[in-house]
Structure 1
Amino acid sequence: MKKGKLDLFMSMIGQRSIPILVCVGFLYIFMVTVEVPFVFNTGFSTVTQDGLNGFFTEDSSRASVLQSDDERESPIRPVRRISEYKPLSRMTFDGSVVDGTSKSGFSLIQKSAKEAFEAGKKLWEEIESGKARENGEKKTENRTEVCSDSVFLSGSALLERNGITTLPCGLKSGSHVTVVGKPRQAHVDRSPFKKDKQDHYVMVSQFVMELQGLRTVDGEDPPRMLHFNPRLKGDWSEKPVIELNTCYRMQWGTSLRCHGKKSMADDETVDGQVKCEEWIHSVNHSQESKSTWWWNRLIGERKKETADWPYPFSEGKLFVLTLRAGMEGYHVSVDGRHVASFPHRAGFTLEDATGLSLKGDIDVQFIFAASLPTSHPRQRILDLSSRWQAPDLPDGPVELFIGIISAGNHFTERMAVRRTWMQHRLIQSSVVVARFFVALHARKEVNVELKREAGFFGDIVIVPYMDNYSLLVLKTVAIFEYGVRVMSAKYIMKCDDDTFVRVDAVMEEVKKVPAVKSSYVGNINFYHKPFRYGKWAVTYEEWAEEQYPPYANGPGYIVSSDIAHFIVSEYEKHKLRLFKMEDVSMGLWVEQFNSSRPVEYVHSLKFYQFGCSDDYYTAHYQSPGQMICMWNKLQQQGRPQCCNMR
C-alpha cells in the first residue's frame, strides 16, 4: 500500500516537472542570445582573468617548479594602438644659455652638450633626407665581412699605428699570436706614487700586451679581453711579477698575479694548464739531512737555492712570446716554455678581440698572428621576428617604466635583452614598459641600421645628440622626460643594456614604500668622496665639494614619478646641474628634491654593481650569452641564479 502511494506521488512530480524544464530551457536560450554579444562587446578579457585565476588557485599551487612566476599570465590590460611609431626623443637642448666664458665643470658639460646636439641635429636631418641612408646601404650591402686568416706587422709599422694592430674578425679557439721583442733597460719613474721605502724614485721596466675590443663610443675605452703586464723590476712587492686582468665597460676585474710561485695543486686549471708557473729560486734539500736543515734554519743560515728557470723576461734580451687562445682561456709561452694561463672572463668572447696593443718599455721586432677566423659570426645580426617586437602601449598610466641606456652599435646586447627579461609577463601585458635610449653614433651606417632596428622593434628612443660617454647624463634626463610625459609612469627605472633585471622582484621592492611617499631605490653609496688623481679624477672645477651626496649605483635604480617630474622641470628651466657621472648627478638631484619634500632612500645590495650573485634584483656586466643562460634558469628552475660561465 505504501509503495503504491509513493509511485503515484513520483508520477505526479514527473508530469509537473516537464513544463518546468521546458520553461527553463527557453529562458536559458534567451539569456545566451542576449548576454553573449554584450559580454564580447564590453571586453570579456577585462572581466574574466582574475576570476579564472581564483578558480584555479588550488590546481596552480600543485604545478611543477618549471612554472615560475615569470610564466604565469598577468591580467590583460586595455591597450592603445600606435598609428605611427616615432623613435626620436622630444628632448632638446637650449644652447643659448651656455656661458662660453665660464670654465666651471657645469659650463664645460653644457658646451659639450651644445656641440653634441648641434652635430646630432645635422646628422639626423641627413638620415631623414636619405643622404645618410644611401651611404649606409652601400656599406651594409654585404654584411658578411671576409677577413684574412693571418696578420703580419713589423715593429716600425706597429709604431706608426701607435702600438695597435687590427685582428679583423677577432680570434677563435686555436688562434695564436707570436711577438718577437726586447725589453728596454730600466729607467727612473718620477711618478709621485712610485717611490721606495726610503722615498726614492724607483727604476722601472715594464710593458703591456692587450687584446682589445672595438671602440664603442667617444670617451669610453675599448674593453680589454686580456691585459698581460710583465714588470721586470717589480712593483710594490719589489719582485719581478706578471699581472693579468680584464677590463669590461671601463671596470677592471680581479687581477691574477704570477710572482714566481707555481699555482697550488688544488687551484683550478685552464685547459689543463696551471695559471702560474714557477720561476723563482727553489730550495734544494737533497744534500742536507733533516736535522741539518732544521739546525741551519734555527741559527738563521741562508737557504741553499738553485735556479731552475729565471724570470722569463730580461732587459735587453730578445724573447719570443706566443699567445694562444684555448677553449677555457688564454695561454702565454715565452721561448717555448709555458708561463701563465688566464681563464676567459664573463662578458667577453673570442671574436670580440679585434685589436692587439703592445706598449711600454719594449722594442717590437715583428708580430705574426695565424689561424684567425675568416668571418665575424656576430656582425650585427638581428632576429627580425615579430615575437620580439614591443607590445602596444597601455591605455593609461603604467606602473613602472624602464629606460635602458645603450650605445648605437650595441645590436647584440639589445637583442639579448629582448629575448630575455623583456619577455617577462609584466612587460608583455604592458603593466611595465621598457625602452632603449640611444644617442647617434659617429659612423653613419650604424645610425642607418639603428633607425631600421627602431622601426621594426618599436622599442628604441633615439636621443638626438652625438654620443659621448661624458654626456651619459643626458640619456638619463631623456628617460625621465619620456617616463613622465609619454608613459605617465608611477615609477621610473634606469638601467644599462648589460643589466639583467628581475622585473617582478623590482616591482615588489618598489611597492614596499607607500605610494604617497617619494622614493629612491637602489644600491646606495653613502659618504663617497671624489677621486682627485688618476683616470677617474674629478677636478675641483667639476666638483668643488669633498663628498658626494648619497647616490645609487648607475646599473639599476628607481625613483618615484614626483622626483622625475622635478628633474624634467629643472632641466627645462635650465636649473639642473649636470655632472659627468650620471649616477652622482642623480643623487644630487634627489638631494635637492629632498630639501623641499622628504624622500625615502631604500638601499639594497641585491642591485648588484659588479657581476651577479644568486637572489639578485639586478645583475650588471652580463654578456648576451649570460643573459640567455640566466633567463633559462629563471624559467626552468623558478628562482634567480647566476651564470658565471667562462
Structure 2
Amino acid sequence: MALPRRRLKVVVTVMMINLFIFILISRNSGHDKNGHHKVRVPSKPFWTKLVPNSAYWNREQQILDIQNNPILAANYSSADLPDWLNDTSFRSDPCQPNFRVTTQVKDYNSLPARFKDFLLYMQCRSYPILIDQPEICKESPFLLLAVKSLAPHFDRRQAIRESWGQAGLIANHTVVTIFLLGNATAVDYHPDLSEMLHYESMRHKDIIQWDFRDSFFNLTVKEVLFLEWIQNRCSGARFIFKGDDDVFVNTYRILDYLKGLSEPKARDLFVGDVITNAGPHRDKKVKYFIPESMYVGAYPPYAGGGGYLYSGDIAARLHNASERVALFPIDDVYTGMCLRRFGMAPEKHKGFRTFNIEEKYRSNPCAYKSLMLVHPRTPQEMIQIWAWLSSPNLSCQ
C-alpha cells in the first residue's frame, strides 16, 4: 500500500508544480524583461473588407457605413475602392428618380408598384414644407403630441382635438398637438383637399405638411422630416408622443407617468408596445411584405407604430442616427434601426395596447384608466372614452 501512496503523492506534486509554472508564465507573458506591458500587434486587419450584399437595402447600408466609419474606410485606398462602393454619381441629386435600381434589384419588374416607387426615391430625404407652424413651440412644451394623419382624415383630427389631443395646460403641464401630413395626390385617387386643409390650418394652427407622396411606404420619410422639424422648431420639448390618428391616448395617464420618472430614466426614455424577434414577411399578400431582394436579416426590437413615447434627448439622437441609416419602407422598424445605431432598444410598457384589449372590457370606462394607448378607436369612441375619463364621477376600484 505504501508504494501506490508514494506514487500518488509524486503525481500530485508534479501537477501542482506544473500548474504553478503555468500561472507564472501566463502572468508575465504580457510583459517585457523590464516589467512593461508588451504591445501586441494583430497579424490581420480587425475589420474585414466588405463584400456587397445581394439585398438592396443591406448594400445601401454598407455604403453608408463606409462613408460614416473612418475605421472601415481606412481599409480601402481610393484606387482599390470597389465599384459598388465608389459609384455615388446618382447621389448628386438624390431626389431625382434612381433608375439604376431597375437593374440592381433582380426582381424589380415583378415587385408591386409601391416597392418600385420607394426604391426609385429611396435616397431622397428633403422635401419642401407646404404648411408650417413656426411659433407653435415658442414656449417649450412638456409634452408634444405628434399625430400621423392623412389629408382626408379631418374627422379623426377633430375628434383628437376635442379629446385626448386638447392643447394647452393639462394637469399643470403644457401640451402641444400637431398633425403630420404629406401630400395626398391624384396619383392615389385622392380628391384635391388643399383649400380645405389650408382653412383647417388657419383655424387650428396645428397642421404640418410636406410635399411628398403620403403613402404607407413613405411613413419613413414622414418620420425623418419630423425628426428634423423637432430640431428646428421644437427642440425644447421635454417629451414626445408620436402615433397614428386612429388610436386613443390617455393623456392624463401619460402625464402622471412622466412626472414620476427619475432624471436618468426621463433622459433615456423610449417606451411602447415593443416587438422582438421579428423579421420581414415574405408573403406578398401581407401588408408588411418585404422581398429578399430588398432586405435580409432579422429586425431589431421596435415599438409598434400605433404610438410610442420618448424624450426630447432621444429625439435629438434619433435625428443624428437617421442620417446614417438607409431609409426602410416600414417606419416603426426604421425607428428601431436608428435606436440600435446608438446602442439603445425600446422598452416595453404594458400600458400600450396597439393590438386592442379584450372585447368584454371595451365598454368599461375603468379599463382605460390605467392604460396609455389603445388601438384602434373611431372618432366617436375617442370622444366617448375621453368623456368617461374626464368625468369627476368616475370611480374605479
Do Structure 1 and Structure 2 share a fold, with TM-score over 0.5? Answer: yes
Of 392, 398, 401, the match for 2:141: 398
- The aligned counterpart of 1:297 is none
Query: Which is higher, the Rg of structure 1 or of structure 2?
Result: 1
Alpha-carbon spacing, 1:551–1:492, altered in 2? closer, same or farther (3 Å): same
Alpha-carbon spacing, 1:600–1:526, altered in 2? closer, same or farther (3 Å): closer
Within the alignment, does 1:617 sit opposite 2:372 as a pair?
yes
- The aligned counterpart of 1:469 is 216
How much does 1:585 deviate? 0.9
Of 178, 184, 189, the match for 1:441: 184
- The aligned counterpart of 1:634 is 389
- The aligned counterpart of 1:579 is 328
Of 245, 248, 254, the match for 1:506: 254
Alpha-carbon spacing, 1:108–1:97, altered in 2? closer, same or farther (3 Å): same
Matches within 5 A, 1:564-575: 564-571=315-322, 573=323, 575=324
* Secondary structure in 1 matching 2:212: strand
8 Å contact kept, 1:426–1:504: no
Which range moves more in the overlay, 411-420 or 101-110? 101-110
CA distance in 2, matches of 1:114, 1:448: 30
* Secondary structure in 2 matching 1:423: coil
Alpha-carbon spacing, 1:529–1:427, altered in 2? closer, same or farther (3 Å): same
Q: One-letter code of the match for 2:141?
A: V
Alpha-carbon spacing, 1:538–1:508, altered in 2? closer, same or farther (3 Å): same
Alpha-carbon spacing, 1:601–1:639, altered in 2? closer, same or farther (3 Å): farther
Alpha-carbon spacing, 1:449–1:394, altered in 2? closer, same or farther (3 Å): closer
Alpha-carbon spacing, 1:637–1:535, altered in 2? closer, same or farther (3 Å): farther
How much does 1:116 deviate? 11
Alpha-carbon spacing, 1:535–1:622, altered in 2? closer, same or farther (3 Å): same
How much does 1:398 deviate? 2.2
Q: One-letter code of the match for 1:112?
A: Y
Matches within 5 A, 1:36-435: 95=94, 99-102=98-101, 103=104, 109=118, 111-112=120-121, 393=136, 395-423=138-166, 426=169, 431-435=174-178
- The aligned counterpart of 1:605 is 350
Q: One-letter code of the match for 1:419?
A: E
8 Å contact kept, 1:98–1:107: no
CA distance in 1, matches of 2:252, 2:293: 42
Alpha-carbon spacing, 1:628–1:606, altered in 2? closer, same or farther (3 Å): same
- The aligned counterpart of 2:33 is none
How much does 1:588 deviate? 1.0
CA distance in 2, matches of 1:502, 1:558: 12
**Structure in which a larger fraction of residues adopt helix:** 2
- The aligned counterpart of 2:205 is 458
8 Å contact kept, 2:94–2:121: no
Of 238, 245, 248, the match for 1:490: 238
CA deviations on 1:549-577 (whole Å, 9 max, x unpaired) are 11111111022223322332344x4x332
Q: One-letter code of the match for 1:560?
A: S
CA deviations on 1:414-458 (whole Å, 9 max, x unpaired) are 111111112366459771211001111124631221111111110
How much does 1:110 deviate? 5.3
How much does 1:113 deviate? 5.5
* Secondary structure in 2 matching 1:413: helix
5+ unaligned residues in a row in structure 2: which ranges?
A: 1-91, 109-114
Within the alignment, does 1:542 sit opposite 2:294 as a pair?
yes
CA distance in 2, matches of 1:619, 1:640: 20
**Structure in which a larger fraction of residues adopt strand:** 1
Alpha-carbon spacing, 1:410–1:507, altered in 2? closer, same or farther (3 Å): same
Q: One-letter code of the match for 1:629?
A: Q
Q: TM-score, normalised by structure 1?
A: 0.38
CA distance in 2, matches of 1:113, 1:640: 51
5+ unaligned residues in a row in structure 1: which ranges?
A: 1-92, 128-389, 642-646
- The aligned counterpart of 2:337 is 588
CA deviations on 1:180-200 (whole Å, 9 max, x unpaired) are xxxxxxxxxxxxxxxxxxxxx
* Secondary structure in 1 matching 2:314: helix
Alpha-carbon spacing, 1:98–1:514, altered in 2? closer, same or farther (3 Å): farther
Q: One-letter code of the match for 1:433?
A: V
How much does 1:406 deviate? 0.3
Matches within 5 A, 1:555-570: 555-570=306-321
* Secondary structure in 2 matching 1:555: strand
When the two chains are superposed, the root-mean-square deviation of aligned CA atoms in Å is: 3.4
8 Å contact kept, 1:393–1:430: no
8 Å contact kept, 1:438–1:461: yes
Alpha-carbon spacing, 1:603–1:467, altered in 2? closer, same or farther (3 Å): same
CA deviations on 1:99-128 (whole Å, 9 max, x unpaired) are 54244699963523678978x88xx6xx9x
Alpha-carbon spacing, 1:435–1:639, altered in 2? closer, same or farther (3 Å): farther
CA deviations on 1:142-199 (whole Å, 9 max, x unpaired) are xxxxxxxxxxxxxxxxxxxxxxxxxxxxxxxxxxxxxxxxxxxxxxxxxxxxxxxxxx
* Secondary structure in 1 matching 2:351: coil
CA deviations on 1:261-318 (whole Å, 9 max, x unpaired) are xxxxxxxxxxxxxxxxxxxxxxxxxxxxxxxxxxxxxxxxxxxxxxxxxxxxxxxxxx
